[in-house]
């Protein structure tokens, strides 16, 4: 009987295992993960306003794995893949044969150059264990410093302020979210953080980071020192590719896969944060996404293709972030956009449409309270999928329903 093995029991790996069963696969499924906890969702780790440390939000109860005959091996790291014998090896030395293999090894938080692991006061955030340690320090009277004004750093800043801790965010670039969103949205989010009392410092070069006594101290090139009870290093993530590299799989900003999530070696697939793939919607441009929805979509696609469906990636990239009561969403890839059209909605919410030089809608990003922008971003996604060239005056006018542009 066919044996499908999935390495990486996170968002993508767990969803792929269930998707295989939903699609009728009745062979053996083994899902292997390094972490001690059953697969859980990562987005809540940096968010939330309550005082308790985050309880893991499990993707499924353990009984469901048993009911679906998914052999879940936790606290187990795969150390080798031998494509010639179609076996994987574990750190304890045992091996396991596979018919098809799916790599969903995710990504790891990037550390400061030259740093060797995390310490008690200098931490990163990727796992539930990281979150428990961080959240324990989010109290009034505590000072949290955060290196990096990216999504995770800013979300943790919002959570820390909501819980009464003092917060300083240190960003090297001239503004926060430089790689993620356009300036107008970064300005709106920065203004809100400042209103809430967070100290956001952009354009700051760091000279050294050290633990001094019971403090974490960040020395800036301008001579200033920021002393905190705890420091979060939030400078992005890097794909976990060592296993794939040792097995001889082609890498290109992650494990390189084609539009069917096939790697360079037969019967080995990769999906989620660990892989880069071509997006036909953007002329075959190769991207790697670190996004919850991408992990879901690719889990389903990988399962379909392991069963021989030959389906291709077609989804529009989509990402969201929650900070205070604001939600920010981005659909599509905005990098090649030359024109921004702004649509103002009620209560300060707004959307920016990113168009190419030829007028094609490439991306849309927006910010607003709660779900203020959700509907328009969803419709923008449909326009992006349709490769639409929408009328710019109509895009800007909130009185014109985006649905009518879709029909046009
Ligand atoms: C704090 C935080 C907040 C986030 N918030 C958002 C958000 O608001 N919106 C959004 O769209 N996305 C968000 N994300 C991103 C989203 O969670 C990821 O895109 C998603 O988890 C990717 O799923 P994955 O399965 O590819 O990787 P992961 O969830 O990283 O899972 C990979 C798993 O593989 C395991 N593994 C790796 N190597 C091996 C090995 N050799 N053997 C066995 N196991 C192995 C790892 O331990 C890990 O458990 C957030 C991420 C974090 C960390």
Same-domain status, 224 and 247? no
> What's residue 391's pLDDT?
96
Same-domain status, 42 and 188? no
Kindly state if the Cβ of 270 falls inside 6 Å of ligand 1: no
Ligand 1 mean position, distance from CA 3 (Å) = 24
> What's residue 55's pLDDT?
87
CATH number at residue 341: 3.30.390.30
How many domains are there within the chain?
Answer: 3
Closest residue by Cα to atom 6, ligand 1, is 43
Ligand 1 mean position, distance from CA 74 (Å) = 15
Same-domain status, 129 and 222? yes
Residue 315 falls inside a structural domain: no
Same-domain status, 302 and 376? no
Kindly state if the Cβ of 106 falls inside 6 Å of ligand 1: yes
> What's residue 1's pLDDT?
66
Residues of the chain with pLDDT under 70: 1, 49-53, 116-118
Asked if residue 361 lies in contact with residue 315, where contact means CB atoms within 8 angstroms, the answer is: no
Closest residue by Cα to atom 49, ligand 1, is 10
> What's residue 49's pLDDT?
64
> What's residue 52's pLDDT?
64
Ligand 1 mean position, distance from CA 41 (Å) = 8
Buried b (16+ CB within 10 A) or exposed e, 177-191: beebbbeebbebbbe
Question: Among 306, 340, 366, which residue terminates a domain?
Answer: 306
Same-domain status, 103 and 16? yes
Kindly state if the Cβ of 77 falls inside 6 Å of ligand 1: yes
Question: Among 250, 272, 306, which residue terminates a domain?
Answer: 306
Question: Among 306, 337, 365, which residue terminates a domain?
Answer: 306
Sign of the CA dihedral 42, 44, 46, 52? negative
Same-domain status, 103 and 250? yes
Same-domain status, 148 and 194? yes
> What's residue 290's pLDDT?
97
With helix as H, strand as E and coil as C, how does 156-192 read? HHHHHHHCCCEEEEECCCCCCCCCCCCHHHHHHHHHH
Q: What are phi and psi of 33, to 5 degrees?
A: -140, 140
Ligand 1 mean position, distance from CA 239 (Å) = 10
The preferred substitution site among 7, 10, 128, 320 for testing ligand 1, maximizing ligand atoms within 8 Å of CB, is 10
Asked if residue 60 lies in contact with residue 40, where contact means CB atoms within 8 angstroms, the answer is: no
Q: Ligand 1 atom closest to Cα of 47?
A: 3
Ligand 1 mean position, distance from CA 70 (Å) = 20
Kindly state if the Cβ of 239 falls inside 6 Å of ligand 1: no
Q: Ligand 1 atom closest to Cα of 125?
A: 1
Task: Give the domain range for residue 356.
Answer: 325-407
Ligand 1 mean position, distance from CA 338 (Å) = 32
Cα-based torsion angle of the residue sequence 294, 296, 299, 303 in order, rounded to the nearest 10 degrees: -130
Same-domain status, 14 and 102? yes
Kindly state if the Cβ of 295 falls inside 6 Å of ligand 1: yes
Same-domain status, 298 and 390? no
Asked if residue 381 lies in contact with residue 331, where contact means CB atoms within 8 angstroms, the answer is: yes
Residue 311 falls inside a structural domain: no
CATH number at residue 178: 3.50.50.60
Same-domain status, 65 and 129? no
Asked if residue 102 lies in contact with residue 6, where contact means CB atoms within 8 angstroms, the answer is: yes
Same-domain status, 74 and 43? yes
Residue 319 falls inside a structural domain: no
Kindly state if the Cβ of 10 falls inside 6 Å of ligand 1: yes
Residue 320 falls inside a structural domain: no
Kindly state if the Cβ of 127 falls inside 6 Å of ligand 1: no
Asked if residue 70 lies in contact with residue 17, where contact means CB atoms within 8 angstroms, the answer is: yes
Same-domain status, 356 and 300? no
């Amino acid at each position: 009987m066919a044996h499908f093995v999935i390495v990486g029991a996170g968002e993508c790996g767990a969803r792929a295992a269930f998707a295989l069963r939903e699609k009728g696969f009745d062979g053996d499924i083994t899902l292997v993960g390094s972490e001690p906890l059953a697969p859980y969702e990562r987005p809540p780790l940096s968010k939330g306003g309550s005082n308790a440390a985050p309880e893991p939000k499990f993707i499924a109860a353990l009984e469901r794995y048993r009911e679906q005959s998914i052999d879940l091996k936790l606290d187990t790291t795969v150390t080798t893949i031998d494509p010639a014998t179609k076996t994987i090896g574990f750190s304890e030395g045992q091996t396991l044969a596979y018919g098809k293999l799916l790599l969903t090894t995710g990504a790891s938080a990037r550390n400061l150059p030259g740093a060797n692991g995390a310490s008690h006061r200098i931490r990163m955030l990727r796992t539930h264990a990281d979150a428990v340690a961080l959240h324990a320090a989010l109290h009034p009277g505590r000072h949290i410093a955060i290196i990096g004004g990216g999504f995770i750093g800013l979300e943790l800043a919002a959570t820390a302020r909501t819980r009464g801790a003092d917060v300083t965010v240190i960003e090297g670039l001239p503004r926060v979210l430089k790689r993620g969103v356009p300036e107008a949205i970064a300005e709106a989010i920065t203004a809100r953080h400042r209103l809430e009392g967070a100290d956001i410092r952009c354009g700051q070069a760091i000279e050294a980071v050290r633990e001094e006594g019971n403090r974490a101290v960040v020395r800036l090139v301008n001579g200033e020192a920021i002393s905190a009870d705890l420091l979060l290093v939030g400078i992005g993530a890097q794909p976990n590719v060592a296993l794939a590299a040792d097995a001889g799989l082609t890498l290109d900003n992650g494990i390189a896969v084609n539009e069917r999530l096939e790697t360079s070696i037969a019967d080995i697939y990769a999906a989620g944060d660990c892989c880069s793939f071509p997006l036909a919607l953007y002329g075959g441009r190769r991207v790697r996404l670190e996004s919850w929805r991408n992990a879901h979509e690719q889990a389903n696609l990988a399962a379909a293709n392991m069963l021989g469906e030959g389906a291709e990636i077609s989804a529009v990239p989509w990402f969201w972030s929650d900070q205070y009561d604001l939600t920010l969403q981005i659909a599509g890839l905005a990098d090649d956009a030359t024109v921004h059209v702004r649509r103002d909605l009620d209560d300060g919410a707004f959307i920016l449409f990113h168009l190419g030089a030829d007028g094609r809608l490439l991306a849309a990003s927006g910010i607003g309270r709660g779900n203020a922008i959700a509907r328009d971003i969803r419709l923008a996604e449909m326009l992006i999928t349709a490769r639409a060239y929408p009328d710019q005056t109509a895009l800007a006018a909130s009185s014109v329903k985006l649905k009518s542009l879709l029909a046009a």
